[in-house]
Structure 1
Amino acid sequence: MRSAGRTTQHPHDDAPDTAAAFERLSQLPEGPARRALRDELVEAWLPMAERIAVRFKGRGESLEDLYQVAALGLVKAVDHYDPSRGRAFEAYAVPTVTGEIKRHFRDHMWTLHVPRRVQDLRNRVRHAAKELAHTTPGRAPTVAEIAEYAQLSEDEVRTGMEALECFTALSLDAEMPGTDGYALADGLGGPDPSYDVVVDRVAAGPVLRALPERERTILYLRFFGGMTQSRIAQQLGISQMHVSRLLSGCCARLHEELLVVGGGHLAGAAADNPGHAPTKPRSPGEPLADVDQ
């Protein structure tokens, strides 16, 4: 590690000689002069902070955001550095900036909440796999090899490997590998609309069984068979108007009796799925919207 007290600088050196400036900063009272010197020191050491930030690229965060986090860590290092302790500023600033970046990843980059122990396992497994990759060309290191290198159990290695993918979550709209446009959301289930009519169907059972046979047949053909009123009339040998009146009377009767027994009203399931239940009953005298003209 290079000392901040050097007098000779390389043109591209990102650790300038600022020992005298920090001595002045520690003696200046709060005011414009101290703020100006502080800003000069931050600007002088900013290349070093950016160099540290580059080491963390490719981990799910943009390099521009990493620069911002590193700059924040550098400001904290400048504000808290005490030259009287005898340590070079670089020796104090590097762990401060690095810690700020790691804290950013820990607090803001995990899509899932991962315990600190698992985060530590992830870092050890990632480092071990990276080091072992140089000794196992052509293949990835095995779990046993990583465990031996990192001095972990194989179960701990597997836990760390699972945490490697926890920074980002897969979008539900993302196409699944090896499929033809099939997204993850396509495999997710949804609420079953039949649950909404379970109570109504149970309550309606005894009332439907109490209807005369012809009315039950008409309801079955209309709402379970999906037949129009004209077809029902032809099958039963009665007029369409008679079928319409019977349907209206049945629905009104069902409605009233279900209210009496506390079963609620029929849930209008026939409008969405005619094979499950009759539609919500019409009140007497209400025009029939489904009468065939």
Structure 2
Amino acid sequence: KITLLYLDLCSRMAARYDGRGIEHDDLVQVARLALVKAIRRYEPGHAPSFAAYAVPTISGELKRWFRDRGWVVRPPRRLQELRADVNTTRAAIEQQSGRTPSDLQVADALGATVDQVREVDVAATGFSPLSLDCSPADDDRPGLEAYLACDDHALESADDRVCLTEALTELDDGERELLLMRYVEGMTQREIGDARGISQMQVSRTLRRITVRLRDHLVDAAGPDGDTVEPPLTTAS
């Protein structure tokens, strides 16, 4: 019966911690378990009333839950403990003055430094970190994921391009000119043969010999387990 009588108290105390990154139902469950613990430990005569004993017990369990499990990015223990004092002091000053106190006012009231108060505020973001889908300015601009690095296929083939460049330096001027005419200028083997005064068959054989040399160079550079770019084999045209 005592448990049922104080279930509403558990819900109200759990609601104080809503919006801090933990589901309300989980907070209520923690509060109810603390209530059961208080019922088992309560000894009449050691406290003015059961409520006077149960409230700090439930509050302490909720605070420990947040301290141990509520942080996505857990700050040092000193900041976790100072955070409760900062929040309580800030709320008290705001209630008295009717306006939000400055960090300096909170620090003076606590006997702490302004840097410590600001460090606590920064650490509090560990309860609910920003999603990568969230816009930095909460508007229609791209989210944070738009600024992250993405796969760059051109970068992945950079090593292959370097190796291919080295392989090309081993060719003589005539061989490089032949590759230029075929694969850069797009000339057919017949057109190359006419331009150089040789047969199409000679052009084909020379291109095949060059591509084999390039392939062998890339294989040697990549090692036994490396991936290499296969130079295109020539086809008669």
Whether TM exceeds 0.5 here: the answer is yes
Deviation of 1:247 (Å): 4.8
1:145 maps to which of 105, 109, 119: 105
Task: Report the equivalent of 1:132.
Answer: 93
Question: 3-state DSSP class of the match of 2:21?
Answer: coil
- Asked if 1:159 corresponds to 2:119, the answer is yes
- Asked if 1:104 corresponds to 2:68, the answer is no
1:56 maps to which of 2, 10, 17: 17
C-alpha distance in 1, partners of 2:81/2:190? 73
1:123 maps to which of 57, 76, 84: 84
CA contact (8 A) 1:215 1:250 kept: yes
What is the one-letter code of the residue matched to 2:46?
G
Question: 3-state DSSP class of the match of 1:165?
Answer: helix
Deviation of 1:228 (Å): 4.4
CA contact (8 A) 2:204 2:236 kept: no
> How much identity, in percent, do the aligned residues show?
33
CA contact (8 A) 2:34 2:58 kept: yes
C-alpha distance in 2, partners of 1:212/1:232? 22
Task: Report the equivalent of 2:141.
Answer: 181
Q: Which moved more, 1:239-248 or 1:187-196?
A: 239-248
- Asked if 1:252 corresponds to 2:194, the answer is no
2:129 maps to which of 150, 169, 179: 169
2:32 maps to which of 71, 75, 95: 71
Deviation of 1:172 (Å): 0.8
C-alpha distance in 1, partners of 2:178/2:225? 20
Structure 2: tracts of 5 or more residues without a match? none
C-alpha distance in 2, partners of 1:50/1:248? 81
CA contact (8 A) 1:228 1:292 kept: no
What is the one-letter code of the residue matched to 1:144?
L
| Shift in CA distance, 207/108, structure 1 to aligned 2, threshold 3 Å | same
Q: How many aligned positions are there?
A: 234
Question: 3-state DSSP class of the match of 1:77?
Answer: helix
CA-based RMSD of the aligned residues comes to: 3.8
| Shift in CA distance, 108/258, structure 1 to aligned 2, threshold 3 Å | same
CA contact (8 A) 1:222 1:228 kept: yes
Q: Deviations over 1:249-284 (max 9, x none)?
A: 33321222344466569856xxxxxxxxxx4236x7
1:34-45 alignment, distance < 5 Å = 40-45=1-6
TM-score (norm 1): 0.64
| Shift in CA distance, 228/267, structure 1 to aligned 2, threshold 3 Å | farther
Task: Report the equivalent of 1:17.
Answer: none
Question: 3-state DSSP class of the match of 1:281?
Answer: coil
Deviation of 1:186 (Å): 0.8
What is the one-letter code of the residue matched to 1:98?
S
| Shift in CA distance, 215/55, structure 1 to aligned 2, threshold 3 Å | same
| Shift in CA distance, 60/178, structure 1 to aligned 2, threshold 3 Å | closer
CA contact (8 A) 2:189 2:204 kept: no
- Asked if 1:208 corresponds to 2:158, the answer is no
Deviation of 1:170 (Å): 0.8
TM-score (norm 2): 0.76
Deviation of 1:165 (Å): 1.7
Question: 3-state DSSP class of the match of 1:176?
Answer: coil
CA contact (8 A) 2:182 2:189 kept: no
CA contact (8 A) 2:90 2:106 kept: yes
Between Structure 1 and Structure 2, which shows a larger proportion of helix residues?
2
What is the one-letter code of the residue matched to 2:13?
I
